[in-house]
Amino acid sequence: MKTITSKHILSVLLTLAAMLPGQKAAADEPIIHDGVTYTLFSSEGCYTATAGSATPSTYTYEYLVDNVIVPPQYGQPFQYTYWMTDDDYGFTTKFIEFHSAAPIVFKGYRLRTAINTKDHPKRRPKSWTLKGKKHADDADWTVLATVSGDTRLPVDNEKTADYWQTGNTLPFQYFRFEVTSIQGPEEIRISQNISYNRWRMELSELQIIGNSYSADHDLDYATIEGLQHYYPHTGSVITPAFTVKDMSGNTLIKDTHYTVSYSPATPNATGNYTLTVTGKSPYSGRKTASFKVVNTLAGKGTETDPYIIADANDWYVFGKYIRENVDHMADKYYKLADTFDNSNEPITEMIATTKKDPNDGKTIKTPFYGTLDGNGRTLHIDLKADSEDGCAPFRYLEGATIKNLTVAGSVATSSKYGASIAVENLPHVGYTNGTEIIDCCSRVTITSSINGDGTNAGFVAVNEVGGNLAFTRCAFLGRMLGSTAHSNGGFVGWNNEANGNYGIVTFTQCIFDPVWVSMSATNSKTFNRGKAPIFQAPASYYTYAGWGTDQGTRIVQLTARAAIVSGEYKFVTSFFNGSQDFRLPAGALAYTVKNNGGSLTFYRIGPESNVIPKGTAVVIIADKTSDELILQIRLESTTEKVEAGQNDLQGSDTDVDNTAGGKYVLGISGGTLGFYKYNGSIIPAGKAYLLNQ
pLDDT of residue 233: 78
Domain end, chosen from 268, 294, 320, is at 294
Beta bridge partners of 104: 172, 212
User: Could you write out the DSSP letters of every residue in 588-647?
Assistant: EEEEEEEEETTEEEEEE--TTT-EEPTT--EEEEEE--SS-EEEEEEE------PPTTS-
Least confident of 127-136, 164-173, 353-362: 353-362
Boundary of a domain, candidates 499, 531, 551: 551
If pLDDT is split at 50, 70 and 90, which confidence band does 662 have? confident
* DSSP code per residue over 527-584: SEEESPPEEESSP-EES--TT-SSSSEEEEEEEEEEEEETTEEEEEEEE--SS--EEP
Residue 380's pLDDT band, with cuts at 50, 70 and 90, is: very high
Same domain, 376 and 475: yes
Q: What is d(CA 331, CA 322) in angstroms, rounded to the nearest whole number?
A: 8
CA dist 462 → 210, 422, 439, 648 (Å): 48, 8, 20, 50
Q: For residue 325, is it within any domain?
A: no
Do residues 502 and 531 lie in contact, with contact meaning Cβ atoms separated by under 8 Å?
A: yes
pLDDT of residue 589: 87
Q: What percent of the chain has pLDDT over 70?
A: 88
Whether 79 contacts 26, CB under 8 Å: no
Would you place residue 673 in the very low, low, confident or very high pLDDT band (cuts 50, 70, 90)?
Answer: confident
Q: Say if CB 439 and CB 471 are below 8 A apart.
A: no
Rounded to 5 degrees, what angle do the CA atoms 212, 214, 220 make?
Answer: 120
Q: What is the mean pLDDT of residues 353-362?
A: 78
In a domain, 301, yes or no: no
Q: What is the mean pLDDT of residues 43-49?
A: 87
**Residue 347 scores a pLDDT above 70:** yes
CA distances to 276, 564, 635, 688 from 585, rounded to whole Å, are 64, 20, 11, 19
Considering the domain boundaries, does residue 324 fall inside one? no
List of residues 6+ apart from 566 with CB closer than 8 A: none
CATH number at residue 251: 2.60.40
> Tens digits of per-residue pLDDT, 200-237?
999 999 999 999 988 888 998 899 998 887 787 777 89
* Same structural domain, 561 and 544: no
Lowest mean pLDDT among 19-23, 251-255, 352-356, 517-521: 19-23
Question: How high is the pLDDT of residue 6?
Answer: 35
What is the distance between the alpha carbons of residues 588 and 598, in angstroms, rounded to a whole number?
26
> Do 281 and 367 fall into the same domain?
no
Pairing status of strand 441-448 against strand 656-657: unpaired
**β-sheet bridge partners, residue 197:** 187
Residues 6+ apart with CB under 8 A from 363: 354, 355, 356, 357
354 and 253 together in one domain: no
| Per-residue pLDDT at 25 | 45
Distance (Å, rounded) from C-alpha 328 to C-alpha 320? Answer: 12
Q: Which pLDDT does position 368 carry in this prediction?
A: 94
Whether 152 and 286 share a structural domain:
no
Q: Taking 80 as the threshold, does the pLDDT of residue 14 lie above it? A: no
3-state secondary structure of 16: helix
Residues 458 and 565 occupy one common structural domain = no
- Interval 456-467 mean pLDDT: 96
Q: Which residue has the higher pLDDT, 406 or 9?
A: 406
- With bands split at pLDDT 50, 70 and 90, how would you rate the model's confidence at 9? very low
In a domain, residue 669? The reply is yes
Residue 498 located in a structural domain:
yes
* Sign, CA torsion 578/582/587/591: positive
pTM score, whole prediction? 0.54
pLDDT of residue 137: 78
Which has more pLDDT, 655 or 190? 655
Domain boundary among 180, 211, 242: 211
Same domain, 541 and 564: no
pLDDT given at position 34: 94
Contact 495, 531 (CB under 8 A): yes
Q: Does 305 fall in a domain?
A: no
Among 55-69, 476-490, 634-648, name the one with the lowest average pLDDT.
634-648
Tens of pLDDT, residue by residue over 279-338, are 999 898 889 998 888 778 899 999 999 999 999 989 998 998 898 776 677 789 999 999
CB 395 within 8 A of CB 352: yes
For residue 284, give its domain range.
219-294
pLDDT of residue 358: 65
Measure the N-to-C terminal CA separation of the chain; round to a whole number of Å. 55
**Cα angle 554, 558, 560; round to 5:** 155
Q: Which is nearest to 419 in space by CA: 386, 388, 381, 461?
A: 461
pLDDT at position 16 is 35
HSE-up of residue 687 (Cα within 13 Å, Cβ side): 20
Q: How far apart are CA 529 and CA 519, in angstroms?
A: 14
Domains in the chain: how many in total? 4
3-state secondary structure of 315: helix
pLDDT at 180: 96
CATH of the domain at 532: 2.160.20
Nearest to 410 by CA among 420, 422, 397, 400: 420
CB atoms within 10 A of CB 607: 9
Rounded CA-CA distance 135/266 in Å is 28
Residues whose CB is less than 8 angstroms from the CB of residue 446 and which lie 6 or more positions away in sequence, other chains included: 410, 411, 412, 418, 419, 420, 456, 457, 458, 478, 479, 480, 481
Q: Find the mean pLDDT for residues 336-358.
A: 92
Same domain assignment for residues 357 and 495: yes
**Residue 318 within a domain:** no
Q: 174 and 260 share a domain?
A: no
The per-residue pLDDT for 268 is 86
pLDDT value, residue 55: 66
CA distance 307 to 305: 7
pLDDT of 488 reads 97
Biggest distance spanned by C-alpha atoms of the chain: 106
From 32-46, 76-90, 359-373, 402-416, the region with the lowest mean pLDDT: 76-90
Question: What band does 633 get if pLDDT is binned at 50, 70 and 90?
Answer: low
What is the DSSP secondary structure assignment for residue 672, as one 8-state letter? E
Sign (positive or negative) of CA dihedral 634, 640, 646, 651: positive
For residue 4, the model assigns a pLDDT of: 36
196 with 281, same domain: the answer is: no
Count how many Cα atoms sit within 13 Å of the Cα of residue 414 in the half-sphere of its side chain. Answer: 2
Burial 548-578 (b: 16+ CB within 10 A, else e): beebbebbbebebebbebeeeebbbbbbbbe
pLDDT at residue 8, rounded to an integer:
36
196 and 248 in a common domain:
no
Cα–Cα distance measured from residue 327 to residue 330, given in angstroms and rounded to the nearest whole number: 9
The span from the CA of 141 to the CA of 97, in Å, is 11
Per-residue pLDDT, 634: 63
pLDDT for 641 equals 74
Could you tell me if residue 503 is inside a domain?
yes
Between 362 and 417, name the one with better pLDDT.
Answer: 417
Tell the burial category of 293 from Cβ atoms under 10 Å away from its Cβ (0-12, 13-18, 19+). buried
Say yes or no: 357 and 489 in one domain: yes
Instruction: Answer whether 352's CB lies under 8 Å from 389's CB.
Output: no
